[in-house]
Every structure is written in C-alpha cells, then in structure tokens.
C-alpha cells in the first residue's frame, strides 16, 4: 500500500506492507537514528515525534502514520548543525554506546516544546521510559536541564 506522510519536514509517499511498523519503514528509508530495541514498547529506543508527541514507533504501524508528521532524531539536527539537545548530550558526555540517545533526545525535545523550563522531576519522568545501560542517567538529565536553563520560556529550538 502507498502511504503519504511528512517525515522530517518533507512530504513523502512510501510503499509499505500493512504489517510494517513505522520503525522499519523509517529505517528502510535510511533513517537509522530510530533504533530497533525491544519492539514491545518497553525501551524507548525507537521513539519518534508523531505530530509533535513522543511515541514508540515499534508500536505504530507505518499505515497509522499516514497523513501525519513524523520527526526522527535526524530531523532535529546533524553533525554539521546539531540541535542544542544533541550538542548538550555530547558536551555532558551523556552518550556512551549511543543506542538509547536518539530516543532520549526525542523525548527531551517533546518535553521542552511544551515545557521550556521543566523541573528535574519532569525531566526524570520524561526519560523514565528510556533505559540506558551505559550512562547511569545522571548525565542525560544534566544535559536536558542545561538546555532548559538556556530557555527564557520560549522553545529550545
């Protein structure tokens, strides 16, 4: 079946099978920042923004995303022009193997978009669905709070 959606700001029309999940469709189109982890909604590695809200792309059929807007970590920034959150994760050494990082950055982006100066509790709640085997969580929390501290009440970016 053909689905039309907006991915990282671009209108696309993709062929996909009815049973294909959004994670697979994105990865098949080269968007490898969206990780395939538990595939059961438990790990947050596959998180993307769907119409601005964080969702687990492993539990969304690609067909369900038709007519909607999807943003992956590639849509936030890249090596040449990273998003402030991506830069903050690097600056705070909040990345080790990096498997959980795109999901965490997406979750943080969704939070800062609606709550530019969140409390530490809100940041912890936002990252709660993103288990990380490497960093011990303190550094990702510090990275998000550092970006929030530069927000004067407006959007992070």
Partner 1 sequence: MYLALQRYSRPSTVHECLELLHAQGGRAALLSGGTDLNAREHEALTHVIDLQALPLAEVRASADSLRLGARVTLARLRREPALARPELAALREAAGAYAVVALQNRATLGGRIMVDRGTEDLPTALVALGAELELARRVDGQIVTEREPYPVGQRARAALEGALVCAVVLPLGTGRSALRRFGRTAVDQPLASVAAASRAGAIHLAANVQGPGAADLRTLPRSEALASAWLAGRPADWRAQARVALLGELAACEDPWASGDYRRDLSATLGVRALAAVFGEPEIV
Give the separation between CA 110 and CA 123, rounded to whole angstroms: 11
CB of 1 to partner 1, least distance (A): 7
What is the total count of residues that contact ligand FES (CB under 6 A)?
23
- Interaction of residue 42 with ligand FAD, rule CB under 6 A: yes
Q: Which residue is nearest to ligand FAD (CB)?
A: 41
**What φ, ψ does residue 55 adopt, rounded to 5°?**
-140, 155
| SS3 at position 1 | coil
Query: What is the per-residue binding string for partner 1 in 58-97, x denoting contact by CB under 8 A?
Result: -xxx-xx-x-------------------------------
Q: How far apart are CA 149 and CA 146, in angstroms?
A: 5
Check residue 41 for interaction with ligand FAD (CB under 6 A). Answer: yes
Query: 86, 108 in Cβ contact below 8 A?
Result: no
At residue 13, what are phi and psi to the nearest 5 degrees? -130, 115
Query: To which H or E segment does residue 74 belong?
Result: helix 73-76
Do the beta carbons of residue 62 and residue 22 sit within 8 Å? Answer: yes
Positions in the binding site for partner 1 (CB under 8 A):
1, 17-19, 21, 40-41, 44, 47, 50, 53-56, 59-61, 63-64, 66, 107, 110-111, 125-126, 128-129
Q: Which residues bind ligand FES (CB under 6 A)?
A: 36-39, 41-46, 56, 58, 95-101, 132-135
Interface with ligand FAD (CB under 6 A): 40-42
């Amino acid at each position: 079946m053909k689905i039309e959606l907006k991915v990282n700001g671009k209108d696309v029309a993709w062929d996909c099978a009815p049973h294909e999940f959004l994670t697979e469709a994105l990865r098949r189109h080269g968007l490898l920042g969206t990780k395939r982890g538990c595939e059961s909604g438990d790990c947050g590695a596959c998180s993307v923004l769907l119409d601005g809200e964080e969702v687990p792309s492993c539990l969304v059929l690609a067909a369900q995303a038709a007519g909607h807007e999807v943003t992956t970590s590639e849509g936030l920034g890249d090596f040449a022009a990273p998003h402030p959150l991506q830069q903050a994760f690097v600056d705070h050494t909040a990345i080790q193997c990096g498997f959980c990082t795109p999901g965490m950055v997406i979750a943080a982006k969704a939070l800062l978009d609606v709550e530019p100066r969140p409390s530490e509790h809100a940041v912890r709640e936002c990252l709660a669905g993103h288990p990380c085997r490497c960093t011990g969580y303190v550094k990702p929390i510090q990275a998000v709070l550092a970006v929030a501290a530069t927000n004067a009440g407006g959007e992070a970016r």
